[in-house]
Structure 1
Protein backbone atom coordinates (compact mmCIF):
# COMPACT_ATOMS: atom_id res chain seq x y z
CA UNK A 1 0.00 0.00 0.00
CA UNK A 2 1.57 3.31 -1.03
CA UNK A 3 2.12 5.90 1.63
CA UNK A 4 1.02 9.51 1.41
CA UNK A 5 4.66 10.47 0.97
CA UNK A 6 5.11 8.16 -2.04
CA UNK A 7 1.91 9.51 -3.63
CA UNK A 8 3.20 13.05 -3.02
CA UNK A 9 6.59 12.16 -4.51
CA UNK A 10 4.94 10.54 -7.54
CA UNK A 11 2.85 13.69 -8.06
CA UNK A 12 5.94 15.89 -7.86
CA UNK A 13 7.75 13.72 -10.40
CA UNK A 14 4.76 13.88 -12.76
CA UNK A 15 4.61 17.67 -12.49
CA UNK A 16 8.39 17.93 -13.03
CA UNK A 17 8.12 15.68 -16.08
CA UNK A 18 5.29 17.72 -17.58
CA UNK A 19 7.19 20.93 -16.92
CA UNK A 20 10.32 19.52 -18.56
CA UNK A 21 8.27 18.36 -21.56
CA UNK A 22 6.64 21.78 -21.91
CA UNK A 23 10.05 23.47 -21.69
CA UNK A 24 11.50 21.05 -24.25
CA UNK A 25 8.68 21.84 -26.64
CA UNK A 26 9.14 25.52 -26.01
CA UNK A 27 12.90 25.40 -26.67
CA UNK A 28 12.83 22.99 -29.61
CA UNK A 29 10.05 24.84 -31.40
CA UNK A 30 10.82 28.50 -30.76
CA UNK A 31 8.08 31.03 -31.24
CA UNK A 32 8.97 33.16 -34.17
CA UNK A 33 8.86 36.87 -34.03
CA UNK A 34 8.24 38.52 -37.35
CA UNK A 35 10.70 41.27 -36.43
CA UNK A 36 13.50 38.79 -35.69
CA UNK A 37 12.90 35.83 -38.00
CA UNK A 38 11.49 37.90 -40.82
CA UNK A 39 8.49 37.26 -42.94
CA UNK A 40 9.42 36.41 -46.53
CA UNK A 41 13.08 36.96 -45.67
CA UNK A 42 14.20 35.43 -48.99
CA UNK A 43 12.35 38.17 -50.85
CA UNK A 44 10.23 35.89 -52.98
CA UNK A 45 7.51 37.77 -54.86
CA UNK A 46 4.36 38.49 -52.91
CA UNK A 47 1.21 37.59 -54.88
CA UNK A 48 -0.38 40.64 -56.48
CA UNK A 49 -3.92 40.02 -55.12
CA UNK A 50 -2.51 40.08 -51.59
CA UNK A 51 -0.57 43.29 -52.22
CA UNK A 52 -3.21 45.13 -54.24
CA UNK A 53 -6.37 43.79 -52.64
CA UNK A 54 -8.65 46.36 -51.05
CA UNK A 55 -11.45 44.15 -49.72
CA UNK A 56 -11.07 41.09 -47.53
CA UNK A 57 -13.40 38.40 -46.32
CA UNK A 58 -12.43 36.58 -43.12
CA UNK A 59 -13.67 33.02 -42.89
CA UNK A 60 -13.85 30.79 -39.85
CA UNK A 61 -12.52 27.27 -40.29
CA UNK A 62 -13.56 24.90 -37.55
CA UNK A 63 -10.44 23.59 -35.89
CA UNK A 64 -9.88 21.78 -32.64
CA UNK A 65 -12.77 22.39 -30.27
CA UNK A 66 -11.71 20.34 -27.26
CA UNK A 67 -9.50 23.13 -25.86
CA UNK A 68 -12.57 25.28 -25.17
CA UNK A 69 -13.67 26.26 -22.56
CA UNK A 70 -11.28 24.27 -20.32
CA UNK A 71 -7.85 25.33 -21.64
CA UNK A 72 -8.93 28.69 -23.13
CA UNK A 73 -11.84 31.00 -22.46
CA UNK A 74 -14.54 31.38 -25.07
CA UNK A 75 -15.34 28.94 -27.81
CA UNK A 76 -13.71 27.52 -30.92
CA UNK A 77 -14.54 30.71 -32.85
CA UNK A 78 -12.34 32.79 -30.53
CA UNK A 79 -9.39 33.00 -32.96
CA UNK A 80 -11.76 34.16 -35.70
CA UNK A 81 -13.30 36.88 -33.53
CA UNK A 82 -9.98 38.20 -32.28
CA UNK A 83 -8.40 38.10 -35.73
CA UNK A 84 -11.39 39.90 -37.24
CA UNK A 85 -11.17 42.63 -34.60
CA UNK A 86 -7.42 43.05 -35.07
CA UNK A 87 -7.75 43.26 -38.86
CA UNK A 88 -10.56 45.79 -38.50
CA UNK A 89 -8.40 47.90 -36.16
CA UNK A 90 -5.53 47.77 -38.67
CA UNK A 91 -7.84 49.19 -41.35
CA UNK A 92 -5.72 47.99 -44.30
CA UNK A 93 -8.55 46.07 -45.91
CA UNK A 94 -12.24 46.86 -46.08
CA UNK A 95 -13.75 43.82 -44.38
CA UNK A 96 -16.76 42.51 -46.27
CA UNK A 97 -19.49 40.08 -45.22
CA UNK A 98 -19.74 38.32 -48.60
CA UNK A 99 -16.73 36.51 -50.09
CA UNK A 100 -18.01 37.42 -53.57
CA UNK A 101 -17.26 41.06 -52.75
CA UNK A 102 -13.69 40.34 -51.60
CA UNK A 103 -10.31 40.44 -53.30
CA UNK A 104 -8.69 38.12 -50.74
CA UNK A 105 -9.97 35.62 -48.20
CA UNK A 106 -8.28 35.07 -44.84
CA UNK A 107 -9.20 31.68 -43.35
CA UNK A 108 -8.65 31.44 -39.57
CA UNK A 109 -8.17 28.15 -37.78
CA UNK A 110 -7.06 27.12 -34.27
CA UNK A 111 -5.32 23.74 -34.06
CA UNK A 112 -4.27 21.88 -30.94
CA UNK A 113 -2.61 18.67 -32.12
CA UNK A 114 -1.64 16.06 -29.54
CA UNK A 115 1.92 16.20 -28.18
CA UNK A 116 2.75 19.56 -29.69
CA UNK A 117 2.12 23.27 -29.27
CA UNK A 118 -1.30 24.76 -30.16
CA UNK A 119 -1.29 27.03 -33.19
CA UNK A 120 -3.41 29.63 -34.87
CA UNK A 121 -3.16 29.42 -38.64
CA UNK A 122 -4.17 31.90 -41.31
CA UNK A 123 -4.52 30.83 -44.92
CA UNK A 124 -4.87 33.53 -47.55
CA UNK A 125 -6.58 32.83 -50.88
CA UNK A 126 -7.51 34.80 -53.96
CA UNK A 127 -11.27 35.32 -53.72
CA UNK A 128 -11.81 34.91 -57.46
CA UNK A 129 -9.57 31.92 -58.29
CA UNK A 130 -9.53 30.31 -54.83
CA UNK A 131 -5.78 29.79 -55.25
CA UNK A 132 -3.86 29.84 -51.98
CA UNK A 133 -1.67 32.94 -51.91
CA UNK A 134 0.05 32.73 -48.54
CA UNK A 135 -0.09 31.21 -45.08
CA UNK A 136 0.81 32.30 -41.58
CA UNK A 137 1.10 30.39 -38.32
CA UNK A 138 1.84 31.38 -34.75
CA UNK A 139 2.20 29.08 -31.79
CA UNK A 140 0.25 29.69 -28.61
CA UNK A 141 2.84 29.59 -25.82
CA UNK A 142 2.27 27.07 -23.07
CA UNK A 143 1.19 28.59 -19.75
CA UNK A 144 0.02 26.86 -16.58
CA UNK A 145 -2.70 29.31 -15.57
CA UNK A 146 -5.77 29.76 -17.75
CA UNK A 147 -5.65 33.56 -17.65
CA UNK A 148 -2.04 33.41 -18.89
CA UNK A 149 -3.02 30.95 -21.65
CA UNK A 150 -5.76 33.38 -22.67
CA UNK A 151 -3.20 36.20 -22.86
CA UNK A 152 -0.84 34.00 -24.90
CA UNK A 153 -3.73 33.16 -27.25
CA UNK A 154 -4.51 36.84 -27.85
CA UNK A 155 -0.81 37.65 -28.27
CA UNK A 156 -0.56 34.98 -30.98
CA UNK A 157 -3.45 36.55 -32.88
CA UNK A 158 -1.76 39.95 -32.65
CA UNK A 159 1.49 38.43 -33.94
CA UNK A 160 -0.36 37.03 -36.95
CA UNK A 161 -1.62 40.48 -37.88
CA UNK A 162 1.91 41.82 -37.37
CA UNK A 163 3.20 39.07 -39.69
CA UNK A 164 0.74 40.16 -42.38
CA UNK A 165 1.68 43.82 -41.89
CA UNK A 166 5.37 42.95 -42.17
CA UNK A 167 4.83 40.93 -45.34
CA UNK A 168 2.89 43.71 -47.04
CA UNK A 169 5.08 46.57 -45.76
CA UNK A 170 8.56 45.12 -45.09
CA UNK A 171 10.23 48.51 -44.69
CA UNK A 172 7.88 49.85 -42.03
CA UNK A 173 7.47 49.01 -38.39
CA UNK A 174 4.06 47.37 -37.96
CA UNK A 175 1.69 48.95 -35.50
CA UNK A 176 0.46 46.52 -32.87
CA UNK A 177 -3.07 45.35 -33.53
CA UNK A 178 -5.37 45.92 -30.62
CA UNK A 179 -8.59 43.94 -30.96
Structure 2
Protein backbone atom coordinates (compact mmCIF):
# COMPACT_ATOMS: atom_id res chain seq x y z
CA UNK A 1 0.00 0.00 0.00
CA UNK A 2 2.80 2.45 0.92
CA UNK A 3 4.58 1.71 -2.38
CA UNK A 4 1.41 2.49 -4.36
CA UNK A 5 0.96 5.80 -2.55
CA UNK A 6 4.54 6.81 -3.26
CA UNK A 7 4.11 5.98 -6.96
CA UNK A 8 0.92 8.05 -7.20
CA UNK A 9 2.56 11.00 -5.46
CA UNK A 10 5.60 10.84 -7.76
CA UNK A 11 3.31 10.62 -10.83
CA UNK A 12 1.34 13.71 -9.77
CA UNK A 13 4.46 15.72 -8.96
CA UNK A 14 6.06 14.72 -12.27
CA UNK A 15 3.05 15.97 -14.26
CA UNK A 16 3.09 19.25 -12.36
CA UNK A 17 6.83 19.64 -12.95
CA UNK A 18 6.58 18.99 -16.70
CA UNK A 19 3.73 21.48 -17.11
CA UNK A 20 5.60 24.15 -15.14
CA UNK A 21 8.84 23.52 -17.03
CA UNK A 22 7.09 23.92 -20.39
CA UNK A 23 5.66 27.29 -19.40
CA UNK A 24 8.98 28.52 -18.00
CA UNK A 25 10.87 27.53 -21.14
CA UNK A 26 8.29 29.25 -23.33
CA UNK A 27 8.49 32.44 -21.30
CA UNK A 28 12.29 32.48 -21.29
CA UNK A 29 12.68 32.04 -25.06
CA UNK A 30 12.21 35.73 -25.89
CA UNK A 31 14.73 36.87 -23.29
CA UNK A 32 17.50 34.49 -24.40
CA UNK A 33 16.92 34.74 -28.16
CA UNK A 34 18.36 38.23 -28.52
CA UNK A 35 21.81 37.10 -27.35
CA UNK A 36 21.88 33.96 -29.52
CA UNK A 37 20.53 35.12 -32.87
CA UNK A 38 23.11 34.99 -35.70
CA UNK A 39 23.75 38.61 -36.78
CA UNK A 40 23.13 37.84 -40.46
CA UNK A 41 19.41 37.40 -39.69
CA UNK A 42 19.06 40.99 -38.51
CA UNK A 43 21.25 42.34 -41.31
CA UNK A 44 19.54 40.42 -44.13
CA UNK A 45 17.69 42.34 -46.87
CA UNK A 46 16.60 39.62 -49.29
CA UNK A 47 15.02 36.24 -48.63
CA UNK A 48 13.88 33.22 -50.61
CA UNK A 49 10.85 31.32 -49.29
CA UNK A 50 11.07 27.54 -49.59
CA UNK A 51 8.07 25.25 -49.30
CA UNK A 52 9.04 22.06 -47.46
CA UNK A 53 5.48 20.74 -47.79
CA UNK A 54 3.46 18.93 -45.16
CA UNK A 55 1.50 15.82 -44.29
CA UNK A 56 -1.95 14.89 -45.59
CA UNK A 57 -3.32 15.89 -42.19
CA UNK A 58 -3.36 19.50 -43.42
CA UNK A 59 -5.87 18.72 -46.15
CA UNK A 60 -8.48 19.78 -43.59
CA UNK A 61 -7.40 23.37 -44.28
CA UNK A 62 -8.18 25.33 -47.43
CA UNK A 63 -5.11 25.04 -49.64
CA UNK A 64 -3.94 21.84 -47.97
CA UNK A 65 -0.30 21.42 -46.90
CA UNK A 66 0.71 24.40 -49.11
CA UNK A 67 -1.39 26.86 -47.10
CA UNK A 68 1.57 27.55 -44.82
CA UNK A 69 3.73 28.66 -47.74
CA UNK A 70 1.13 30.94 -49.32
CA UNK A 71 0.14 32.52 -46.01
CA UNK A 72 3.75 33.07 -44.96
CA UNK A 73 4.47 34.72 -48.30
CA UNK A 74 1.43 36.95 -47.84
CA UNK A 75 2.35 37.97 -44.27
CA UNK A 76 5.98 38.68 -45.11
CA UNK A 77 4.96 40.83 -48.06
CA UNK A 78 2.69 42.85 -45.76
CA UNK A 79 5.47 43.27 -43.22
CA UNK A 80 7.81 44.54 -45.98
CA UNK A 81 10.92 43.94 -43.85
CA UNK A 82 12.62 41.74 -46.45
CA UNK A 83 12.62 41.79 -50.23
CA UNK A 84 11.41 38.42 -51.45
CA UNK A 85 13.31 37.12 -54.47
CA UNK A 86 13.01 34.02 -56.66
CA UNK A 87 16.63 32.87 -56.55
CA UNK A 88 17.79 31.07 -53.37
CA UNK A 89 21.47 31.45 -54.29
CA UNK A 90 21.10 35.23 -54.55
CA UNK A 91 19.19 35.63 -51.28
CA UNK A 92 20.66 36.62 -47.93
CA UNK A 93 18.49 34.03 -46.19
CA UNK A 94 16.23 31.09 -47.01
CA UNK A 95 12.95 30.80 -45.09
CA UNK A 96 11.87 27.17 -45.19
CA UNK A 97 8.36 26.40 -43.90
CA UNK A 98 7.01 22.92 -43.22
CA UNK A 99 3.69 21.67 -41.82
CA UNK A 100 4.03 18.63 -39.58
CA UNK A 101 1.54 16.64 -37.50
CA UNK A 102 3.10 14.55 -34.77
CA UNK A 103 1.04 11.69 -33.33
CA UNK A 104 -0.13 12.39 -29.79
CA UNK A 105 -2.92 9.87 -29.28
CA UNK A 106 -2.31 9.75 -25.54
CA UNK A 107 -2.45 13.51 -25.00
CA UNK A 108 -6.12 14.04 -25.82
CA UNK A 109 -5.62 17.49 -27.36
CA UNK A 110 -7.93 19.42 -29.70
CA UNK A 111 -6.49 17.84 -32.81
CA UNK A 112 -8.73 15.08 -34.18
CA UNK A 113 -7.16 11.68 -34.66
CA UNK A 114 -4.56 12.16 -31.96
CA UNK A 115 -2.26 14.58 -33.80
CA UNK A 116 -0.39 17.68 -32.73
CA UNK A 117 -0.16 19.92 -35.85
CA UNK A 118 2.66 22.44 -35.99
CA UNK A 119 4.25 24.84 -38.42
CA UNK A 120 8.04 24.81 -38.50
CA UNK A 121 10.04 27.71 -39.91
CA UNK A 122 13.74 27.11 -40.54
CA UNK A 123 16.01 30.00 -41.47
CA UNK A 124 18.93 28.75 -43.56
CA UNK A 125 22.19 30.17 -44.85
CA UNK A 126 22.00 29.96 -48.69
CA UNK A 127 25.76 29.48 -49.01
CA UNK A 128 26.12 26.55 -46.61
CA UNK A 129 22.49 25.43 -46.23
CA UNK A 130 23.12 25.46 -42.48
CA UNK A 131 20.10 26.07 -40.27
CA UNK A 132 20.63 29.39 -38.53
CA UNK A 133 17.39 29.34 -36.56
CA UNK A 134 14.25 27.25 -36.13
CA UNK A 135 10.96 28.42 -34.70
CA UNK A 136 7.58 26.70 -34.44
CA UNK A 137 3.92 27.53 -33.90
CA UNK A 138 1.10 25.26 -32.81
CA UNK A 139 -1.94 24.93 -35.08
CA UNK A 140 -5.34 24.72 -33.37
CA UNK A 141 -7.48 22.59 -35.68
CA UNK A 142 -11.00 22.87 -34.34
CA UNK A 143 -14.46 23.84 -35.56
CA UNK A 144 -15.67 24.35 -39.10
CA UNK A 145 -13.57 25.06 -42.16
CA UNK A 146 -13.62 28.83 -41.69
CA UNK A 147 -12.58 28.55 -38.04
CA UNK A 148 -9.80 26.08 -38.84
CA UNK A 149 -8.42 28.30 -41.58
CA UNK A 150 -8.52 31.33 -39.28
CA UNK A 151 -6.65 29.45 -36.58
CA UNK A 152 -4.08 28.29 -39.13
CA UNK A 153 -3.46 31.85 -40.30
CA UNK A 154 -2.98 32.99 -36.70
CA UNK A 155 -0.27 30.37 -36.35
CA UNK A 156 1.55 31.72 -39.42
CA UNK A 157 1.28 35.21 -37.94
CA UNK A 158 2.94 33.92 -34.79
CA UNK A 159 5.84 32.60 -36.88
CA UNK A 160 6.27 36.01 -38.47
CA UNK A 161 6.15 37.64 -35.04
CA UNK A 162 8.93 35.30 -33.93
CA UNK A 163 11.00 36.55 -36.87
CA UNK A 164 10.19 40.13 -35.89
CA UNK A 165 11.75 39.44 -32.52
CA UNK A 166 14.81 37.88 -34.14
CA UNK A 167 15.40 41.08 -36.10
CA UNK A 168 15.13 43.16 -32.92
CA UNK A 169 11.63 44.51 -33.50
CA UNK A 170 9.42 45.04 -30.46
CA UNK A 171 6.06 43.30 -30.58
CA UNK A 172 2.81 45.02 -29.76
CA UNK A 173 0.77 43.91 -26.75
CA UNK A 174 -1.60 42.06 -29.08
CA UNK A 175 1.25 40.24 -30.85
CA UNK A 176 2.87 39.32 -27.54
CA UNK A 177 -0.41 37.89 -26.26
CA UNK A 178 -0.93 35.88 -29.47
CA UNK A 179 2.57 34.38 -29.20
CA UNK A 180 2.05 33.56 -25.53
CA UNK A 181 -1.34 31.98 -26.12
CA UNK A 182 0.10 29.84 -28.91
CA UNK A 183 2.53 28.19 -26.49
CA UNK A 184 -0.17 27.32 -24.00
CA UNK A 185 -1.86 23.94 -23.87
CA UNK A 186 -5.39 23.75 -25.33
CA UNK A 187 -8.29 23.61 -22.88
CA UNK A 188 -8.75 19.87 -23.39
CA UNK A 189 -5.13 19.25 -22.40
CA UNK A 190 -5.62 21.39 -19.30
CA UNK A 191 -8.73 19.39 -18.42
CA UNK A 192 -6.85 16.12 -18.93
CA UNK A 193 -3.94 17.33 -16.84
CA UNK A 194 -6.25 18.48 -14.06
CA UNK A 195 -8.14 15.20 -14.18
CA UNK A 196 -4.97 13.15 -13.87
CA UNK A 197 -3.80 15.24 -10.93
CA UNK A 198 -7.22 14.95 -9.29
CA UNK A 199 -7.31 11.19 -9.75
CA UNK A 200 -3.78 10.82 -8.42
CA UNK A 201 -4.47 12.95 -5.35
CA UNK A 202 -7.79 11.20 -4.75
CA UNK A 203 -6.22 7.74 -4.92
CA UNK A 204 -3.39 8.89 -2.70
CA UNK A 205 -5.87 10.23 -0.14
CA UNK A 206 -7.86 7.00 -0.26
CA UNK A 207 -4.68 5.00 0.28
CA UNK A 208 -3.72 7.12 3.28
CA UNK A 209 -7.20 6.70 4.71
CA UNK A 210 -7.00 2.93 4.32
CA UNK A 211 -3.59 2.81 6.00
CA UNK A 212 -4.57 5.03 8.94
CA UNK A 213 -7.88 3.24 9.48
CA UNK A 214 -6.69 -0.31 9.22
CA UNK A 215 -8.43 -2.42 11.87
CA UNK A 216 -6.17 -3.96 14.49
CA UNK A 217 -6.34 -7.74 14.77
CA UNK A 218 -8.21 -8.94 17.84
CA UNK A 219 -6.45 -11.31 20.22
CA UNK A 220 -8.36 -14.43 21.19
CA UNK A 221 -10.22 -14.19 24.49
CA UNK A 222 -8.97 -16.72 27.02
CA UNK A 223 -11.63 -19.12 28.25
CA UNK A 224 -13.20 -18.39 31.62
CA UNK A 225 -13.89 -20.85 34.39
CA UNK A 226 -17.07 -21.16 36.50
CA UNK A 227 -15.36 -19.26 39.29
CA UNK A 228 -14.83 -16.22 37.07
CA UNK A 229 -11.05 -16.46 36.84
CA UNK A 230 -8.80 -18.28 34.39
CA UNK A 231 -7.83 -20.73 37.06
CA UNK A 232 -9.92 -22.13 39.89
CA UNK A 233 -8.46 -23.67 43.02
CA UNK A 234 -8.90 -27.40 43.18
Contact 1:119 1:138 (8 Å CA) reproduced:
yes
Give me the TM-score of the superposition, normalised by structure 1: 0.71
| Secondary structure of 1:62 counterpart | strand
**Cα distance, 1:165–1:127 mapped onto 2, change above 3 Å:** same
Q: Give the match for residue 171 of structure 2.
A: 173
Q: Give the match for residue 216 of structure 2.
A: none
Q: Give the match for residue 80 of structure 2.
A: 91
Q: 1:106 aligns with which of 90, 95, 104?
A: 95
Give distance in 2, aligned partners of 1:121 and 1:98.
22
Give the deviation of 1:127 after TM superposition: 1.2
Q: Give the match for residue 134 of structure 1.
A: 133
Give distance in 2, aligned partners of 1:137 and 1:160.
7
Structure 1 residue runs of 5 or longer lacking an equivalent are 1-27
Give the deviation of 1:52 after TM superposition: 0.8
Q: Which runs of 4+ in 1 moved over 6 A?
A: none
Alignment RMSD (CA, Å): 2.4
**Cα distance, 1:154–1:162 mapped onto 2, change above 3 Å:** same
In the alignment, structure 1 residue 41 sits paired with structure 2 residue 24: no
Farther off after superposition, 136-145 or 117-126: 136-145
Give me the TM-score of the superposition, normalised by structure 2: 0.55
Give the deviation of 1:39 after TM superposition: 4.4
Give distance in 1, aligned partners of 2:84 and 2:58.
28
| Secondary structure of 1:162 counterpart | helix
Q: Give the match for residue 121 of structure 1.
A: 120
Q: Which structure's CA Rg is the greater one?
A: 2
Structure 2 residue runs of 5 or longer lacking an equivalent are 1-18, 105-114, 176-234
Contact 1:39 1:163 (8 Å CA) reproduced:
no
**Cα distance, 1:142–1:127 mapped onto 2, change above 3 Å:** same
| Secondary structure of 1:143 counterpart | coil
More helix by share: 2
